[in-house]
Structure 1
Amino acid sequence: MTIHAVGEPARRTAEPYDFRRPTTLAREHSRVLEAAFDSFARQWGTQLTAKVRTKSTATTESVIVQTYDEYVASLPTVTCMVRCVVGDTAAKMVVQFPTPVALGWVARMLGGASDKPGLERKLTPIEHALVKALVEEALDVLAYSLGPLLPAEARVESIQYNSQFTQAAAPSDLMVVVTCGVQVGETTSAVTFAVPADTLLPQLGAVNPVASSENAPELTREQVALVPVEVAVRLASLAVTPAQVLDLAVGDTLPLPHHAREAFHVTVGGQDHARAMVVRSGSRAAARIVSVLPSATHPQGVDDAPAEPDAPAPTQEYRP
């Protein structure tokens, strides 16, 4: 049975968190990145207007952290993936946009004026050179807008056309994924920038520190102390065979290896922690601790043998 303290507050739900994959940004860090990419979007829209010779705008729609595998899964299979090298980082930055949109940009750069969507095909050598130059200029604007957040220069390495086969990073590598809405003439499309998190996140603390690490152990202990755990008071367990379990019927008796006058076992997370006697607290059952196991108070000197309980304190008899 499970014993809860009398008058305990409402149960708090604890969500699992993997510290090896901090998939959420601190609010302050998120604001810094959003402000930087908003500045980039405004300047990039002006640059596109000059390059494609028609009014163009770009706006930042979202800034999130995803693994590279999650990012690729969100993209269409056939699309334009521009891999970019960022300093000595093994993971590559990715600039992604639909291939027909890129062909429309190229057509306008060469004097065309049609907003009709193009075909889904690979770029010709001339189109490849024009798109590469367009992306390289966008990377210059990105470096200017991010400033110290992007410590290394980014340059175009290659252009791929299948998101599933483009190996820019390991599947579990974290990426800061920025989605921009780009409107060129009457055509609106989504362009994504996936920057390795290892490139941006280390600089965020220096740009806008959110907390001091001097008292990190103390803060960790305080937070762990608030995590709810299950405490159970139970009899000694009995090992049985599957056949015995399947043959159980109403009225059967299982003899437990628990003496009638022995204290109950108090477990936390399935581990023995103390011994207790079951008593009555008003109209509810309660457990009075009579001893604490040495392994619970001295984890470094764990003794596998269960400790004998101390003499139980005077208790009230519990009758269900």
Structure 2
Amino acid sequence: MVIDDSARSGMPTEGPSATAEIAAYDFERSATLSREHARALELAFETFSRQWAAELSAKIRVRATVTVEYVTMQSYGEYAQSLPTTTALVVCALPDSSERMIVQFPTSAATAWIVQMVGGRPVGATEERTFTPIEQALIGSLMTDVIALLTGTMDGLLPQGVTIAGIQYNSQFAQVAADNEPVIVAQLTMRLSGRSVPTSVMLPASILSAFASTAPADRSANPELVRRQVEETPIEVSLRLSPRTMLPREVLGLAVGDIVPLPHAADRPLLLLVGDQPIATAAVGTAGARLACVVTTTIPDPSTVSVPASEESV
């Protein structure tokens, strides 16, 4: 006889045969973004999206907004299959590397940008087509600024000197990486003039190796650094005599020149303290023309000595 766990615990089930959903593990996509890497990339792309929207709005004189839909790691083959057959793929070359990155957007959206840049007004959605030489030059100028923004917001993950290697128009033929090579894909949505334009940025997964050099080191994990910091931190020490209890009327009656005797014997050592913790006993001495103290004994465990809170410092 099989006893249902829900019946044993008294919890109702959602149906006659309620079962937990099990997500199948895809061994072909074993590489994924860690939570730390994913969050850092999302923050970088959110900053890039705001800056790109502001710059594009200034150049085409139309308010544009860019939002990040998701950032994920997938194979280049999956990324290429998700793109429209005809689209603008700005292929960028990384310095001293054979790897490439891509900034993708519809060609119809790009031609509308150009019309607005020269003072015109686009009429409806245009067809997806290749750019003319003049359009390609204008788009290249726009993308140069976009690449500079992306490099800056990646905070060292992308090297300086990324250049445009060319513009491709067929997502199936633009083989900038092997189909099974992992890449980082940021899916963006651009909204302007009442139209939503899907765009994307593809980066090689090798940029994640730069996290080790850009992430701040955990200095607290090094005991030597902690010990050195404690040893070199300046602290204040004080000498204290035995306290005396006085009545309020005695305190109010004090005048200049009055002598207040303290119940501290001349042969009794003083306490040397750091804050409220005694660390040693000392006797009064001199160092040249300056008053000083001579340490007589040290206290190995300061917690074993109690100091009245009413003691006075001298």
| Partner Cα distance (1:115, 1:37) in 2 | 31
Partner of 1:72: 80
Q: What's the secondary structure of 2:70's corresponding residue?
A: strand
Could you list the runs of 4 or more consecutive aligned residues of structure 1 that deviate by over 4 angstroms after TM superposition? 13-18
| C-alpha contact 1:29 1:208 (8 A) present in aligned 2 | no
Structure 2 residue runs without a partner (length 5+): 1-21, 219-314
Q: 1:1-320 to 2 correspondence within 5 Å? A: 22-114=30-122, 116-198=124-206, 200-208=207-215
Inter-CA distance 64–115: structure 2 relative to 1 (3 Å threshold): farther
How many Å separate the matches in 2 of 1:62 and 1:168?
Answer: 22
Whole-angstrom distance in 2 between the partners of 1:209 and 1:179: 28
Supply the distance in 2 between the matched residues of 1:118 and 1:66 (Cα, whole angstroms): 31
Q: Which runs of 5+ in 1 are unaligned?
A: 1-12, 212-320
Count of aligned pairs between the two proteins? 199
Secondary structure at 1:147 match in 2: coil
- Supply the AA of the counterpart residue of 2:45: F
Is the CA contact 1:99–1:121 (under 8 Å) kept in the aligned structure 2?
Answer: yes
Cα-to-partner distance string for 1:242-291 (whole Å, 9 max, x where unaligned): xxxxxxxxxxxxxxxxxxxxxxxxxxxxxxxxxxxxxxxxxxxxxxxxxx
Residue 170 of structure 1 aligns to a residue whose secondary structure is coil
- Whether contact under 8 Å (1:46, 1:56) holds in the other structure is yes
Aligned-partner residue type, residue 40 of structure 2: V
Question: What is the rounded CA distance, in whole Å, between the counterparts of 1:83 and 1:100 in structure 2?
Answer: 18
Per the normalisation by structure 1, the TM-score is 0.58
8 Å Cα contact 2:107/2:129 also seen in 1: yes
Q: The residue matched to 1:149 in structure 2 has which SS?
A: coil
Where relative contact order (Cα < 8 A, 6+ residues apart) is larger, the structure is: 1
Counterpart contact for 1:81–1:95, Cα < 8 Å: yes
The TM-score normalised by the length of structure 2 is: 0.59
Residues 14 and 103 (structure 1 numbering): CA distance in 2 closer, same or farther, change over 3 Å? closer
Identical columns (%): 38
Distance change in 2, residues 1:14/1:112 (3 Å): closer
Name the larger-Rg structure.
2
